[in-house]
Amino acid sequence: GLPGRPTTTTPTTTPTQRMIIYASLSEMTTADPSTEFSNSVMWLPLVYEPLLWYDPITDKFIPALATNYSSSIDGLVWTFTIRRDAVFHDGTPVTSHAVKLSIERTIALGQGAAFIWDPVESIETPDNYTVVFRLKYPAALDKIAATAYGAYIFSPKVVDYAGASNLTDPKVAEWFNRGNEAGSGPYKMIKWDPENEVVLEKFTDWWGWKLPDYPMKSDNAPDIFKIKIIKDAVTQETLLLSGGVDIAQYVPLENIEQHQRNPNLQVVFKPSFQNLIMLINVKKPPLDNVLVRRAIAHAIPFEDIVTVARSGLARVASGPVPHGMWGHFDNLTFKYNLSLARELLTQAGYPSGINRKLILTYTAGDIYEARTADLIKASLSQIGIEIEIRPLSWEEQWALAQKGWEDPNAAQDLLIFYWWPDVVSPFTYLYNMFHNASKVFNLCYYENPEFNALIEEAVTLEGIDEARALQLYYMAQKILYEDVPAVPLWDMIDLRVARAGIGNLDKAINPAYPTVVFAQVLDVRG
């Protein structure tokens, strides 16, 4: 079919099948396993397999297409043994050549998460079931081979299906994006209607079903797994309660406690590296005065915000790097103290408050930002700072904020927005929002050469001297704490709510693969 048109295959199943509907918040657009770097992650790990799976909670690897692997002592040579009974959905056996071709295509296309393979110098296939990676510099290739994006293996026959000359021919990508797949995973995709739903059907020839003790499977896995796009938490909840969906990616957080008590429902929590930050326009008076900024930071009721905006499902931020991530430090939280804030304002020369309304923008439509903004407004009014809240579309907000580099007075005063990592490193947080070379997202217009130098050095040391890098990152964050170009607000806790009858939900969720529900481990009866 054409993009945008649903392509449907007639199901060849009997009516006794078990179906699970998973409500997704966001629609999908692309479906190429080599380049996908977006929402299709919801189903890619069900249809395709990498060499290994990684469980960050136990810090263990689970075999996927590779049954085992080893590495040289210098960490430069990695050897993987490929499973002998694995076949792709098109019937082609999975071999070392398919692995090599798949990863080489990802590298060659260089899109999406291709950068993960940067250490790889060459891939060799001594026999049909052995793959050898040679690296340019030491790296943890097992983690790389287990990432959520860019590590999937597909049937080399896609070249023929797409009528292409080779794997990097754009025709292959087109073929994928039309809703075709060529994976080896426990599910086949039978419907691709990326704005509304994606339907997966159990792949009966999957090797995993036959292994009695394999941890990533269940004997009662659903026959049909449908990902339904429902862009709104309330609706997801409504449908969950009325039986329209089985698992909700999101529901209004206020209701979580109630759902936890509801015998028909189950709630599963998981950590997240997404956080909310308020950037301050440091060049617009009176915010150019660090005392005023500090006063603001101390007048923000962090605990209340977490309670109201996230119903407690977040942690008060301590520095821009979120909890649980390497580079996070626990002593960078501002204390909520209104008298201190008033004192700071007085010191700054504003004993009776600021005589101008500060403009605070956030992205319209996001209830958590909205409530956060609301409480900030309420609280700052206590110290004599009036806030005008302006919910804007992201592009308007960003367009407005961009003006700040030329004319700080034309831009907003305060801006709140989310940050989440592309590469899991403190550097993405610190560089993007606070380095003055990052005009795109440094929307506090903060310029501090000392800070710049610290993080520039830290990032180069990350792979060599972790301790030193950590120290530099700490110093950089300390500077931010003193200068207050921004007030980190909270770090998110993520969750899933589902029908009670669905077993193994906690096992099916893995923070390393955000938003994914591994359907093959679900236990669905009746």
Distance CA 46, CA 518 (A): 7
Q: Which is nearer to other proteins, 20 or 109 (CB)?
A: 20
Please report, as a single letter, which amino acid is at residue 330.
Answer: D
CA terminus-to-terminus distance, the chain: 35
Q: Which is nearer to other proteins, 99 or 387 (CB)?
A: 387
Least separation in angstroms between CB 332 and other proteins: 24
Least separation in angstroms between CB 129 and other proteins: 38
Least separation in angstroms between CB 38 and other proteins: 10
Q: Which is nearer to other proteins, 237 or 462 (CB)?
A: 237
Distance CA 479, CA 499 (A): 47
Least separation in angstroms between CB 384 and other proteins: 12
- In the block, residue with structure tokens 């110290």: 383
Beta strands in 128-186 (DSSP E): 130-135
DSSP state of 363: E
Least separation in angstroms between CB 233 and other proteins: 6
Least separation in angstroms between CB 392 and other proteins: 7
Q: Which is nearer to other proteins, 143 or 231 (CB)?
A: 231
Least separation in angstroms between CB 380 and other proteins: 10
Least separation in angstroms between CB 172 and other proteins: 20
- 275-288 in b/e form (b: 16+ CB < 10 A) is bbbbbbbbbbebbe
Q: Which is nearer to other proteins, 223 or 491 (CB)?
A: 223
- Alpha-helix residue ranges (DSSP H) falling in 154-274: 158-162, 170-177, 233-242, 256-261
For residue 322, the tally of other CB atoms under 10 A from its CB is: 27
> Considering only CA atoms, which of 109, 198, 195, 196 is closest in space to residue 152?
109
Q: Which is nearer to other proteins, 117 or 362 (CB)?
A: 362
The residues that touch other proteins, with contacts defined as CB under 8 A, are: 3-6, 8, 10-11, 15, 17, 19, 21, 27, 29, 194-197, 199, 224, 226, 228, 230-235, 237-239, 241-244, 252, 254-255, 258, 304, 307-308, 364-365, 367, 370-371, 373-375, 377-378, 381, 389-396, 398-399
What string of DSSP letters covers 493-524? EEEEEEETTEETHHHH--TTSTT---GGG-EE
Any long-range contacts for 203-211 (C-beta under 8 Å, 24+ apart)? 203/89, 205/87, 206/520, 207/83, 207/85, 207/86, 207/87, 208/520, 210/85
Least separation in angstroms between CB 397 and other proteins: 10
Least separation in angstroms between CB 389 and other proteins: 6
Cβ(186)–Cβ(44) below 8 Å: no
Q: Which is nearer to other proteins, 15 or 263 (CB)?
A: 15
R_g of the chain, CA atoms, integer Å: 25
Q: Which is nearer to other proteins, 136 or 403 (CB)?
A: 403
Q: Which is nearer to other proteins, 54 or 362 (CB)?
A: 362
DSSP state of 132: E
Distance CA 445, CA 39 (A): 31
Least separation in angstroms between CB 315 and other proteins: 17
Q: What is the largest CA-CA distance in the chain?
A: 78
Q: Which is nearer to other proteins, 14 or 70 (CB)?
A: 14
What string of DSSP letters covers 249-286? S---GGGHHHHHH-TTEEEEEEEEEEEEEEEE-TTSTT
> Considering only CA atoms, which of 362, 448, 445, 364 is closest in space to residue 409?
445
Q: Which is nearer to other proteins, 21 or 493 (CB)?
A: 21
Q: Which is nearer to other proteins, 243 or 324 (CB)?
A: 243
Inter-CA distances, 81 with 43, 143, 272, 375, Å: 25, 16, 33, 56
Least separation in angstroms between CB 103 and other proteins: 27
